[in-house]
Structure 1
Amino acid sequence: MALIHGSDAVTDSAEHSRSSMVTTEGLPMPRAATAITIPLQGGLGNQLFELAAGIVVRSRFPRRVHYSDYWLTNPVDGETPRAFALEGLLRRDELVSAPTPRVGRVSDRLMNHRVIERSPDDDALARVGRLTHVLAGYFQRLSYVEEAWPELRARFLNSPNPAHRRLVSPQAGDHGAIHYRLGDYVSNTGANAHHGVTSPDYFVDVIRDGHKRLGITDWRVVSDDTSTALDLLASRGLPSNVALSAAEDGNEWEDLSTLASARACAISNSSFSWWAAFVGASSRPTEVVAPRPWFANAAASEPPLFPDKWLRRDRPLL
Structure 2
Amino acid sequence: MIVVELMGGLGNQLFQYAAGKSLAYKSKSELYVDARFLMNRNVESRKVTYRNYDLDIFKINPPLAAASASLRYGISASLVFRPVKRLFNRFINAGPLQYVAERRPYQYDVQFGDLTDNVYLSGYWQSTQYFQAIQQQLRAELQFAESIPAYASELAEEIKSNLSSVCVHVRRSDFINNRRHDVVPPVYYQEAEKLILARVNSPTFYVFSDDIEWCRTHIRFCAPTVFVGDEWAGNRAQLHLQLMTFCQHFIIPNSTFGWWAAWLSPGLNKIVVVPKKWAYVHQSFIGSDELIYPGWLTI
TM band (smaller chain): 0.7 to 0.9
Task: Please say if residues 176 and 216 of structure 1, whose CA atoms lie closer than 8 Å, have aligned partners that are also in contact.
Answer: no
Task: Please say if residues 173 and 210 of structure 2, whose CA atoms lie closer than 8 Å, have aligned partners that are also in contact.
Answer: yes
* RMSD (Å), alpha carbons: 2.9
Task: Please say if residues 73 and 83 of structure 1, whose CA atoms lie closer than 8 Å, have aligned partners that are also in contact.
Answer: yes
Quote the Cα distance in structure 2 between the aligned partners of 1:107 and 1:176: 47
Q: Which residue of 2 aligns with 1:21?
A: none
Quote the Cα distance in structure 1 between the aligned partners of 2:278 and 2:224: 28
Quote the Cα distance in structure 2 between the aligned partners of 1:180 and 1:109: 37
Quote the Cα distance in structure 1 between the aligned partners of 2:12 and 2:195: 30
Q: Given the alignment, which residue of 273, 283, 289 partners 2:273?
A: 289
Q: Which residue of 2 aligns with 1:171?
A: 160
Quote the Cα distance in structure 2 between the aligned partners of 1:227 and 1:289: 23
1:64 paired with 2:47, answer no
Q: CA deviation at 1:208?
A: 3.9
Task: Please say if residues 172 and 263 of structure 1, whose CA atoms lie closer than 8 Å, have aligned partners that are also in contact.
Answer: no
Task: Please say if residues 177 and 262 of structure 1, whose CA atoms lie closer than 8 Å, have aligned partners that are also in contact.
Answer: yes
Task: Please say if residues 33 and 62 of structure 2, whose CA atoms lie closer than 8 Å, have aligned partners that are also in contact.
Answer: no
Task: Please say if residues 139 and 264 of structure 2, whose CA atoms lie closer than 8 Å, have aligned partners that are also in contact.
Answer: no
Aligned-partner SS, 1:231: helix
Aligned-partner SS, 1:195: coil
1:73 paired with 2:42, answer no
Q: Which residue of 1 aligns with 2:248?
A: 263
Q: Would the alpha carbon gap of residues 91 and 244 (structure 1) be closer, same or farther in structure 2, given more than 3 Å must change?
A: closer
Identity %: 25
Q: TM-score, normalization: structure 1?
A: 0.73
Q: Given the alignment, which residue of 137, 141, 163 partners 1:155?
A: 141
Q: Given the alignment, which residue of 54, 62, 65 partners 1:85?
A: 54
Q: Which residue of 2 aligns with 1:243?
A: 225
Q: CA deviation at 1:137?
A: 0.9
Q: Which residue of 2 aligns with 1:139?
A: 125
Quote the Cα distance in structure 2 between the aligned partners of 1:76 and 1:286: 42
1:193 paired with 2:159, answer no
Cα deviation code 1:223-252 (max 9, x no counterpart): 111111221213xxx43x543422561322
Cα deviation code 1:179-211 (max 9, x no counterpart): 01101001xx5xx11111111111122224433
Q: Would the alpha carbon gap of residues 160 and 196 (structure 1) be closer, same or farther in structure 2, given more than 3 Å must change?
A: closer
Aligned-partner SS, 2:219: helix
Q: Which residue of 2 aligns with 1:277?
A: 262
* Equivalent AA in structure 1 for residue 89 of structure 2: D
Q: Structure 2: where are the runs of 5+ without partners?
A: 76-81
Q: Would the alpha carbon gap of residues 201 and 96 (structure 1) be closer, same or farther in structure 2, given more than 3 Å must change?
A: same
Task: Please say if residues 172 and 210 of structure 2, whose CA atoms lie closer than 8 Å, have aligned partners that are also in contact.
Answer: yes
* Equivalent AA in structure 2 for residue 108 of structure 1: N
Larger radius of gyration: 1
Q: Runs of at least 4 residues of structure 1 off by over 6 A?
A: none
Q: Which residue of 2 aligns with 1:109?
A: 90
Aligned-partner SS, 1:139: coil
* Equivalent AA in structure 1 for residue 115 of structure 2: V
Alignment coverage as a number of residue pairs: 264
Task: Please say if residues 23 and 116 of structure 2, whose CA atoms lie closer than 8 Å, have aligned partners that are also in contact.
Answer: no
Task: Please say if residues 208 and 227 of structure 2, whose CA atoms lie closer than 8 Å, have aligned partners that are also in contact.
Answer: no
The residue correspondences of 1:199-214 to structure 2 (distance < 5 A) are 199-214=185-200
Quote the Cα distance in structure 2 between the aligned partners of 1:55 and 1:218: 36
Q: TM-score, normalization: structure 2?
A: 0.77
Q: CA deviation at 1:58?
A: 0.6
Q: CA deviation at 1:55?
A: 1.1
Q: Which residue of 2 aligns with 1:38?
A: 4
Task: Please say if residues 175 and 263 of structure 1, whose CA atoms lie closer than 8 Å, have aligned partners that are also in contact.
Answer: yes
Cα deviation code 1:284-312 (max 9, x no counterpart): 31111000111246943435111011001
